[in-house]
Structures are given as C-alpha cells and as structure tokens.
Amino acid sequence: MTTLTDPPKESFRLSMLLYDTRYRSTTIQVVALLGFMLGAAWLINNVIVNLAAAGKTFNYGFLKEASGYDINQKLIAYNSQSSHMRAAVVGLMNTLLVAVMGCIAATILGVIIGVLRLSKNWVISRLAAVYVETLRNVPVLLWIVLIMAATSHQLPAPKDFRGDNPAATMKVFDSIAVTNRGVYLPEPLFSKGLGDLPVFPDKESKACQAFYNPDGTPATAKLAKFCGTFQISIDLMAILAVLIAGLITSKLIKTRADQIQKDTGVRPVTWYWRLAVVFLPTLAVLYILGFYLGYPELKGFNFKGGIHMRSSLLALWVALSLYTAAFIAEIVRAGIMAISKGQSEAAAALGLRQNRIMSLIVLPQALRVIVPPLISQYLNLTKNSSLAIAVGYMDITGTLGGITLNQTGRELETVLLLMLIYLIISLTVSSVMNYYNERTKLKER
C-alpha cells in the first residue's frame, strides 16, 4: 500500500527572494518602489533646500494678487487690476478657443485632402500628396512664425484703407477688413437685447452695484463688466433655446412621418414643415431682439467695431490647422484603405448606390479606424497651441507661463500649474477617446 504524502514543505530562505520566481517579482517591485521613493525624496529635498536658500516659499497665494498687465485678447472681462488667476483663466479660454477653431478647420481640410489623395484622378491625388508631404515635413513652429510674418508684412496697414483712392479695400460687401493687424469681421448685435446674466455675482461688490444700477458714469459702466465670474449673454441663450426647440420639433415630425410610412406605406411630404419649424421661430426671435450686424469702421488710426481677429490668433489658427490637416489626411486615407474592397463590392452587389455605400458601409467601419488617431491629433493640436508664445498670442502659456512667471518670479508654482492644466485637458480628452473605443470596438468571441 502506498500513501500519498504532501511534498515536503519548503521553509523560506532569504536567497529565495532572488532565485524563486514567486518571490523574485516582489523583490523587483520593492527595489523599484524604493528607488522611486529615494529619487523623489532626493528631488523634493533639493527643492526645499534650494527654495530656502533663495528665500522663497512654495505657495499659490500670488494667484490672488493683481496681475498688473493687460491681455489684448480676452473672452471675459479682464484688466490689469484683475488677479493672476483671472489672467490664467483668460489665457486658458484663449487656448481652448484656438484649439477648438483649429480642430474644426483641420478636420474639414484633412478629410478633403485625405479623400482627394485617394482620388483616381492622377493630378489631384499628386497635388494632395505634395500638400501632405510639404506640410508635415516642416516644423509647425516654422509655419506659425512664417504665417505671422507673412500677415504682418504682406497685408495692407489700416491707413491704406483711408482716402478717396485707397490702396486697399474691404472685402465681401465692405464688411470684412483684412489688415496687417488682423481681420475685422462684422459682429452680431441686438438693438433690443436682453442684456447679460452674471454668473456667481457677489452683490456686495462695487462691480455688481454698478451692474445692477447701470445709470452711472462711464467708469462705473466699465466696472459693471466685472460683476460675477463671467457673464452669459441672455440673447444668445434665447436664440439657442429656440433653435434647439425647433430641432426637436423637426425630429418629432420626422418620427411621425416614419410612423405614417410604416402604417400606410405612403410617406407624407414634410421637408418644408421641418425647415419652417427650425428657421421661422429662430428668425422671429432674431427680429424681436433687433438683430443687426455691426460692421468694422476705420476710425482714427485703426478699425473700430466688429470682431477683431488678431493676426497672432489668425497665424496660429491657420498654421495649426494646415499642419494638423496633413496628418488627419493621412489618417483618413489609411482608414478608408483599411476597409477591404470586398465590403463595397458586396454593397454594390446588393444594389446600393455609390453614396449610400460610402455612408452606410465604408464610413461606419472606417470611422472605427479613424477616430482614435484623429483624437490624438486633436490633442497634439491643443498642445501645439502652446507655441502661441512665439507669436505673442496670449494663451495660457503666454499669461501664466509667460508674463505671470516673469513678474512674480514663481517658476516652480507657475510651471507646475501650467503642466497640471494641460494634463487635465489631455486626460479628459483621452478618457473620452477610451470610452469611444470601448463602444465601437469590434465584438469578437
């Protein structure tokens, strides 16, 4: 008779930390963690010693102090008496503005170029290839400074618009002025507007007293802009609300038409209804609010009125869009090419038309390939917008990482905060991307 015995229990020996694979991984981890902590401690210790030696402290109190500098482009009220914090927010909004504008323009241009590069037409596909190769093989900073230099040297100065026989004229029915200081566009205005709504107003503050009693001197009228953290235009909200309501109604009409078609087989003609519910109420609201366009006018040495798109914003926007479009074009091309030809042939065999094949068969599959790298291009564009500092566009790098850093001498705090802000933007975007990836991933096994 044989007896089954457990194998002899091994006692733990110190050398097993090195030789036994079960324990070795723990050893490696502990060593890595120790190394990391030692390194971090060393760095932090150095920082403490250096700060003490320079007589500095590490705190973010300076963010509340008055900034003392002006920002030429601002989306919310700001002046040199505002805090460094507000300057950073203004900068951040400028960053986001150029990033969003750039992403939209780059996507449109990139998709067009990418599709053109796949064209059967030899000349067109070659031109698209030349575009892609030229744009992406030259540093983006060079494009930015080049376009900035071109706009400020080659475009007419505001004084060229003056006189009876001016050297330059305004474009598109005298509404757009293209100058070396930027482009002046007509601005939407409301003669019977509803005014602004301050967000988080502190009613005790002078700014809000001026805001709620608007019949003051020009000085207090200016002050009124600073009531609350920022102000929302009620006009814009009203228009958007009506527009969205119109879109929802239009959707309801479509659903109803679908239902009727399902029940009776006859589809009622609804396109004019759908157009009408979207546009008529919106137009009515615009009319009630007294909508008109404020044209830029030459007054004194410069144009007044209208929306001023600075040449720094313009250069940054154009350069980033053109540059990123080259990469997006390649992504779109790769995405479309990744869909096997059999898919469109099968669709054709089912009797689908060319554009239906594109929209129903090829694009939905190609999007799965296209979207993830597309979003990382958006991220790249956002990060590249930090090059604004080269052309003097006041984005977050220009305000927080530029003037605030130089004025307060708080390199450590500002640069860390700057990195943190960019990191938050990036992580937000990439988590959105991961969510999209999860949703559209091919379901296998």
Partner 1 sequence: MTMNSTQSYVRTEMLPEKAPPVTNVGIIGWVRQNLFATWLDAILTLMAIYIAYSVLSFLLPWIFGGFWNANSLNECRAKIIEVYGESQNRACWGVIHERFWQLMYGFYPEHLYWRPNLALILLFAGLAPILFGSLPKKLILVSVAVPFIAPWLLWGGSVWVPVTAFLGFVVGYLVHKFVSVAISPLLGLILGVLSAIIWWLFLMGPVGEALQNIIPLGIESVESRKFGGFMLSILLGITGITLSFPLGIILALGRQSNLIIVKSLCVGFIEFIRGVPLITLLFVASVLLQYFLPKGTEFDIILRVMIMVTIFAAAYMAEVIRGGLAALPKGQYEAADALGLDYWQAQRLIIMPQALKISIPGIVSTFIGLFKDTTLVSIIAMADPIQWVKFIQSDSDWNGIIWELYGFVAFVFFIFCFSMSRYSMYLERKLQTGH
Indicate whether 37 belongs to the interface with partner 1 (CB under 8 A). Answer: no
Q: Nearest to residue 302, comparing CAs of 182, 128, 155, 206?
A: 182
Task: Give the one residue of 6, 9, 12, 120 binding partner 1; rule: CB under 8 A.
Answer: 120
Indicate whether 288 belongs to the interface with partner 1 (CB under 8 A). Answer: no
C-alpha torsion angle, residues 38, 43, 44, 50 (rounded to 10): 140
* CB environment 188-204: b (16+ within 10 A), e (fewer): eebeeeeebebeebeee
**For residues 361 and 354, what is the distance between their CA atoms, to the nearest angstrom?**
10
Indicate whether 405 belongs to the interface with partner 1 (CB under 8 A). Answer: yes
Extended strands (E) in 159-290: 177-179, 182-185, 187-190, 196-199, 230-233
Closest to partner 1 by CB, 249 or 386: 386
* Least distance CB 368 / partner 1 (angstroms): 16
Q: Nearest to residue 319, comparing CAs of 146, 183, 152?
A: 146
Q: Residues binding partner 1: what is the number (CB under 8 A)?
A: 59
By the 8 A CB rule, do 177 and 209 touch? no
Closest to partner 1 by CB, 28 or 244: 28
Task: Give the one residue of 23, 372, 412, 436 binding partner 1; rule: CB under 8 A.
Answer: 412
**For residues 333 and 279, what is the distance between their CA atoms, to the nearest angstrom?**
36
Task: Give the one residue of 13, 32, 60, 199 binding partner 1; rule: CB under 8 A.
Answer: 32
Indicate whether 123 belongs to the interface with partner 1 (CB under 8 A). Answer: yes
Indicate whether 337 belongs to the interface with partner 1 (CB under 8 A). Answer: no
Instruction: Compute φ and ψ for 165, nearest 5 degrees.
Output: -125, 70
Task: Give the one residue of 57, 72, 80, 121 binding partner 1; rule: CB under 8 A.
Answer: 121
Closest to partner 1 by CB, 238 or 396: 396
Q: Nearest to residue 106, comparing CAs of 135, 146, 137?
A: 135
Indicate whether 29 belongs to the interface with partner 1 (CB under 8 A). Answer: yes
Q: Nearest to residue 177, comparing CAs of 344, 323, 302, 93?
A: 302
Indicate whether 354 belongs to the interface with partner 1 (CB under 8 A). Answer: no
* Least distance CB 8 / partner 1 (angstroms): 24
Closest to partner 1 by CB, 36 or 271: 36
Indicate whether 150 belongs to the interface with partner 1 (CB under 8 A). Answer: yes
Closest to partner 1 by CB, 223 or 320: 320
Indicate whether 167 belongs to the interface with partner 1 (CB under 8 A). Answer: no
Task: Give the one residue of 220, 229, 233, 426 binding partner 1; rule: CB under 8 A.
Answer: 426
DSSP-assigned letter for residue 61:
G
Which region, judged by CB under 8 A, interacts with partner 1, from 120-128, 161-169, 183-191, 244-252?
120-128
Indicate whether 124 belongs to the interface with partner 1 (CB under 8 A). Answer: yes
* Least distance CB 118 / partner 1 (angstroms): 13
Q: Which residue in the block uniquely carries the two structure tokens 């129903």?
A: 360
Closest to partner 1 by CB, 130 or 248: 130
175: its two tokens = 């509404």
Instruction: Please name the amino acid found at residue 361.
Output: I
* Least distance CB 87 / partner 1 (angstroms): 17
Task: Give the one residue of 297, 352, 383, 408 binding partner 1; rule: CB under 8 A.
Answer: 383
Cβ neighbors of 207 (< 8 A, separation 6 or more) are 223, 224, 225, 226, 227
**For residues 158 and 274, what is the distance between their CA atoms, to the nearest angstrom?**
45
Task: Give the one residue of 228, 246, 335, 401 binding partner 1; rule: CB under 8 A.
Answer: 401
Indicate whether 133 belongs to the interface with partner 1 (CB under 8 A). Answer: yes
Q: Is 412 left (phi over 0), alpha (psi -120 to 50) or beta?
A: alpha
**For residues 177 and 25, what is the distance between their CA atoms, to the nearest angstrom?**
68
Q: Nearest to residue 422, comparing CAs of 389, 392, 391, 395?
A: 395
By the 8 A CB rule, do 293 and 173 touch? no
Task: Give the one residue of 138, 167, 284, 432 binding partner 1; rule: CB under 8 A.
Answer: 138
Closest to partner 1 by CB, 142 or 237: 142
Closest to partner 1 by CB, 283 or 419: 419
Vertex 189 angle, CA 187 and 190, to 5°: 170
Task: Give the one residue of 153, 439, 441, 445 binding partner 1; rule: CB under 8 A.
Answer: 153
Task: Give the one residue of 13, 38, 41, 43 binding partner 1; rule: CB under 8 A.
Answer: 43
Q: Which residues bind partner 1 (CB under 8 A)?
A: 15, 18-19, 24-25, 27-29, 31-33, 36, 43, 46-47, 49-51, 53, 119-124, 127, 133-134, 136-142, 145-146, 149-150, 153, 383-384, 386-387, 389-390, 397, 401, 405, 411-412, 415, 418-419, 422-423, 425-427
